[in-house]
Structure formats: C-alpha cells, structure tokens
Structure 1
Amino acid sequence: MSDPWEYSLYIPCDPRAVTVCRRTLRLILTLHGLIHLVDTAELLASELVSNAVLHTKGPACLRLRFRDGVLQIGAWDADPEPPEPPGRLEEPADAESGRGMALVRACSDLWHWQPLSRMGHRGKLVWCELNAA
C-alpha cells in the first residue's frame, strides 16, 4: 500500500479549466501507479469540475486524495447550495440537467457533498470515491 497523498488544483471559473483538470489528473495518477483508474477518474473529475465552473460564478478547485487504497476526487465551488440530485442515465440525451451526477453515481463507489469554505468563500465540496483494488 502506498503512502497517502493529496493534490489541490485551484482553477478559474472557465470551461477550459475542465481540460486542464483532466490532463493534470491523468498525470498525477500515472505517476502514482494508478493508471488503471485514469479513464473512470477522468470522467468523474470532468463531471464534477464541469458542474463547478458552469453552474457557479466564483473560483473552483479540483482535489485528489489517495488513502487506504481509495481515490477520492472532489470539486469545490463557491456556491454553498447542494448539487442537483442525480437524474437517471436512461433520461433523454437532451435532458437539461442531472445526467452528469447520474454518471458520477453510476461510475463511483460512493459520492456525497459537504459544505466547505475556502479562500474566504462559503461553498461546497462534491466528491466521489474509487477503490484502487
């Protein structure tokens, strides 16, 4: 079992930040020997970060944590309101909202959210977990 680690990447409220987060996550997981998690982790991080930058007006942050064989992927944003409840993946592709969190729910082992203040902003952290085993 490897030592625990954590990375945080603070990002502007800009849709281009999603790509930066995805590529940064891929590099981090590759360097830590977790390449088998990259595809799923990129999908999850993309959904979480997209929600953070598209539905809020303030700064955001991607947080990656690894401890006890579990990768936690989180996106913090400056909106303290809870995320939209997950929709169903069976909903039409042109559904207005909820499909991203439905993907997070379907592809992760666990997901949740919690209020969290950062950089002087009240906000929330929406996170999910992947077992590395």
Structure 2
Amino acid sequence: MTSLITPVQPASTGHPAYSQTFPCDPSTAETGRRLVRDALGVWHLDDLADVAALIMSELVANAVRHTSCRSIRLVVGRPSAPRIRVGVVDRAPSRLPVLRPAGEDEESGRGLLLIDGLADRWGYDLHGPPRRPWGKAVWAELSVRGDQ
C-alpha cells in the first residue's frame, strides 16, 4: 500500500509520474526519500529505491543550500519504460549545478559527485522562455533492469 498524498498519474508520454511542491527546507529530504520509495514500490522497482532515495536527498540538499527559493517541486517519473527519473525543480535558474571536486578539508560539496557516481546520467533543464527562464529542474536517471 502506498502512502503517496496524490496518486501516481500517467504522464503525457504514457508513463507514470508523480510530483508535489514542498518547502525548500532540509526536512523535505525525508519527504523526498519517502516519495521515491512509495513511487518505486507502486511500480515494483523496490531494488532501485535506496539509490534513488539517496539521489533525491542530495538533490534536495543542493536546492536548499544553493537557492533562496521558498518552495521546491519534487518529481519522480518514468520518462520511458526502462528509466526512472528523480528531480527537483526550483526558481533559481541562474544557480546551475556544477560538478567540481571537493577539497579534502571541506565538510560538504560532494553531493553532485555522489549523484554522478550513482546515476546513469544526470543534468538540468531550464524552464520558461530561453532568454528569461523562471526556474530549473535538476534530475538524475537510473536504468530499470530485467523484467520489471
């Protein structure tokens, strides 16, 4: 049984997706992990839940740390049958993610390195008009294996 607040709905591609807006707050990471686990459970993809939940936590942490947004939208979807995508949408299009090595003495700054190591691919999409985007989505994808 799922505990999603809103049921999973098919996206325009015919594949299911789920998204909801939450406060841009560190506590949203826990909600994001739950959302990922619930959605993947509905899709019988529990074997990907730990990795996808960790990625979602890092995406939320980055949005909280690097933007001044009041809210963020968490997204879990299947852009195609063999892929799942987790992402965070914020209203800070000028704060783009940059993969960079963290110094040995730094206590943070390894989130994108972790995502890069775990995900099959990751990136960002700007939202809105090309010359004046209103926000961005930072996302990561994992491959669905086998007969799921």
Q: 2:123·2:139 contact (CA, 8 Å) conserved in 1? A: yes
- TM-align CA RMSD: 1.9
Structure 1: which 5+ runs fail to align? none
Q: 1:77 corresponds to which residue?
A: 90
Can you list the C-alpha shifts for 1:10-61, whole angstroms capped at 9, x where unaligned? 1112111111111121111112100000011011111111111222122211
Q: 1:65 corresponds to which residue?
A: 77
Q: 1:86·1:101 contact (CA, 8 Å) conserved in 2? A: yes
Q: 2:19·2:73 contact (CA, 8 Å) conserved in 1? A: yes
Partner Cα separation in structure 2 for residue 82 and residue 102 of structure 1: 17
Q: 2:119 corresponds to which residue?
A: 108
**TM-score (norm: length of structure 2):** 0.77
Query: What letter matches 2:17 in structure 1?
Result: E
Secondary structure (helix, strand or coil) at the match of 1:14 reads coil
Task: After the TM superposition, list the runs of 4 or more consecutive aligned residues in structure 1 that deviate by more than 4 angstroms.
Answer: none
Does residue 12 (structure 1) correspond to residue 23 (structure 2)? The answer is yes
Can you list the C-alpha shifts for 1:69-124, whole angstroms capped at 9, x where unaligned? 100111111101243311237x4262552x1011111110111111114xxx8111
Q: 2:99 corresponds to which residue?
A: 86
Q: 1:64·1:74 contact (CA, 8 Å) conserved in 2? A: yes
Rg comparison, structure with higher value? 2
Secondary structure (helix, strand or coil) at the match of 1:129 reads strand
Secondary structure (helix, strand or coil) at the match of 1:79 reads coil
Q: 2:33 corresponds to which residue?
A: 22
Kindly, what percent of the aligned residue pairs are identical? 31
